[in-house]
Structure 1
Amino acid sequence: MNSPVIASLVPVVLFIAIGFVAGRQEWIRASAVKDLSNLVFMVLSPALLFRTMSTVHIEDLNFGPVGIYFAAFGLLYFATLAWQGFNRLAAARALANTFSNTLMIGVPLVGLVFGDAGLVTLFTLISVHSLILLTAATVVFELAAAREHAGQSNAAQPPMWRTVLGAVRNGVLHPVPLPILAGLLFAQTGLVLPPVVDKPLQLLGQALGPLALLLVGVTLVFTRVGHHFKGALRIALAKCIVHPLLLAAMAWALGLSGLPLAVMIVAASLPVGANVFLFAQRYEVAQDEVTASVAVSTMLALVTMPVVILLTTRYVV
């Protein structure tokens, strides 16, 4: 057993468990979850993302493993569409099968296990993760919705180019990709953050991991699975097991290895990200099933992620 890996995983499980207890005891109420989530997304994560990338030069980034990640995503995503049929329900399940919680769980987990080098690799993925995946998902959802409503309404549909352009704009002007891109641009200037700016950013960034993991535990308390458990479990199995296995198999076939690939495999093993629910809500499909899949996949990931990390650190790094 790799004791440093186990030592890194213990805080992840512990913080989620503490958050769960805090929610059950109503020390943190359901009404406060959105405010805490906004704090993580709008304040803490931009501080960490910008500060980490502000010293990274573009020529040092490795986009090869990121390309493998998106190849595995595309294969699983379109396989789900082919199996389920081209409609909004299939689009929601396909996105849930492939969209990882890279920020709330991925950042603290990768930081603890792989350190700053792992975070740079993860942030390379995050910088284009939402942009590419959510833009593609928007196009698929719009096409599926238009197909379903064809002949049912005389209302004019907006042109596809406007839909795609809006998705790209929203993907860039977002509190996750934007500070990464801003940090990279700052790094290319050769300037160094003055201590009066760097220290507050460091303190805010250090608060992200614990608070994000606590919030995951709290959210589990207020998520109702109910009779959607079977559907949620199918999504969880695809997300936490099939996705990383598919990525690892593709990398093995190409003879790839190393820390960047290990980070990508761990990222693929993460549970369903919350952005999937926003799509389900917007397109009015499978909202309860997607909500349940976020909870079930998070619980399953607490078992599968340690296995994935142990295997990747032993055979990939």
Structure 2
Amino acid sequence: MLRIISGLAIFAVVITIGWVLGRTGALPPRSDRVLTRLAFFAATPALMLTTLAGADLDAVVSARALAAIIAELLTIAGAWAVHRWVLGRNPADALIGALASGYVNAANLGIPVALLVVGDVTPIAPILLLQLIVLTPGSFAILDVITGKSGRTALRRATAPLRNPLLIGVVTGTVLNLAGWEPAGIAGGSPAEVLGMLGRMAVPLMMLSLGLSLADSQRERRMGPLGRVTGPAGPALWCAVGWKLLVAPLLALAVGGLMGLRGQVLLVPVTTACLPTAQNIFMYASRYERATDLARDTVLLTTAGFAPVVLLAASILG
């Protein structure tokens, strides 16, 4: 437990450094986009490739991974029903609300948190695949139909996950593993050294970019103080935040428990469910011009509030 608290404290310090760099103007606005793209296109794919190439694939295709997948699907489906039928939001806004309530930040925070809590990033791979191959193109297709957008642009959006560097890194690492090829044994080990160097950049880049993005979010927010959120997005916002930080971990706990998982093994799907909302959801909302305030503020609030939930889960199950 002390190790997890210490690790989260280190994450918080690095995130704070990024926030200070953004707030003081040491780095210009939107600098987080540069670091995020560097992590997205180079560092994180390299980390996933090298990790999966030498991983025990039984940890990837396992009961704990299945529990995490089922829990995320149930979380999103349940949140959609609440946003649509209880809060009375239109189908497009309800879908954005559902994604904000359950689509986790598996890359930028999932990887470092998995390393910290369970000491392994392989459990994140199935969630990345679920989100990249199923949830993202499926959501795009639904939003295209609802909003009336179709044609070539819609097709390009639907096939975008196939060009995703994270997916390429996961698939390449898995193929190398199945083929029995060690990256260190290819071309005298030089590619492995390059990939290792890039992979070691991933976590600090993610933390710094998160701090910079929080600084930008504070500048750009138009809603005023958190205690004075007004308008129709207010109830939906607090519903999404509560669903993400409370209902999602409890669903993961229930699903894992019903599957017979206990202790550290059960901590994997619960920790995954505790992760905050992915920043991708704000991008999706902005692209379709639906529930953008809801998506933006859910990302901000769940990122600020997920650490105590992770600590509580680790203290109970660890």
Q: Same-fold call, TM > 0.5?
A: yes
| TM-aligned CA distance change 1:73 to 1:192, over 3 Å | closer
Q: Which amino acid aligns with 1:134?
A: T
TM-score after normalising by structure 2: 0.85
Q: Which amino acid aligns with 1:280?
A: A
Q: Which residue is 1:176 aligned to?
A: 166
Q: Which residue is 1:312 aligned to?
A: 317
1:283 to 262, 284, 288: 288
Counterpart mapping for 1:1-317 below 5 A: 2-56=1-55, 58-59=57-58, 61-85=60-84, 87-115=91-119, 118-146=120-148, 158=151, 169-194=159-184, 195-223=189-217, 224-227=220-223, 229=226, 230=229, 231=234, 232-257=237-262, 259-313=264-318
Shift of 1:30: 1.2
Stretch deviating more after TM superposition (270-279 or 63-72)? 63-72
CA–CA distance in structure 2, aligned partners of residues 299 and 205 of structure 1: 26
Stretch deviating more after TM superposition (59-68 or 38-47)? 59-68
CA–CA distance in structure 1, aligned partners of residues 10 and 146 of structure 2: 42
Q: Which amino acid aligns with 2:200?
A: Q
Shift of 1:157: 5.3
Shift of 1:260: 4.5
Shift of 1:96: 0.6
Local SS of the residue matching 1:272: coil
Shift of 1:103: 0.9
Shift of 1:45: 0.7
Q: Answer yes or no: is the 8 Å Cα contact 1:100–1:267 preserved in 2.
A: yes
Cα deviation 1:151-173 (Å, max 9, x = unaligned): xxxxx9559xx96x756632232
TM-score after normalising by structure 1: 0.85
Q: Answer yes or no: is the 8 Å Cα contact 1:48–1:202 preserved in 2.
A: yes
Q: How much is the aligned-residue C-alpha RMSD, in angstroms?
A: 2.4
Shift of 1:197: 1.6
CA–CA distance in structure 1, aligned partners of residues 18 and 203 of structure 2: 13
Q: How many residues matched? A: 298
CA–CA distance in structure 2, aligned partners of residues 166 and 24 of structure 1: 36
| Structure 1 runs not aligned, ≥5 long | 147-155
CA–CA distance in structure 2, aligned partners of residues 137 and 31 of structure 1: 26
Stretch deviating more after TM superposition (303-312 or 43-52)? 303-312
Shift of 1:39: 0.6
Shift of 1:111: 1.1
Shift of 1:60: 5.4
Shift of 1:271: 0.8
Q: Answer yes or no: is the 8 Å Cα contact 2:76–2:99 preserved in 1.
A: yes
| TM-aligned CA distance change 1:225 to 1:186, over 3 Å | same
Q: Answer yes or no: is the 8 Å Cα contact 2:100–2:281 preserved in 1.
A: yes
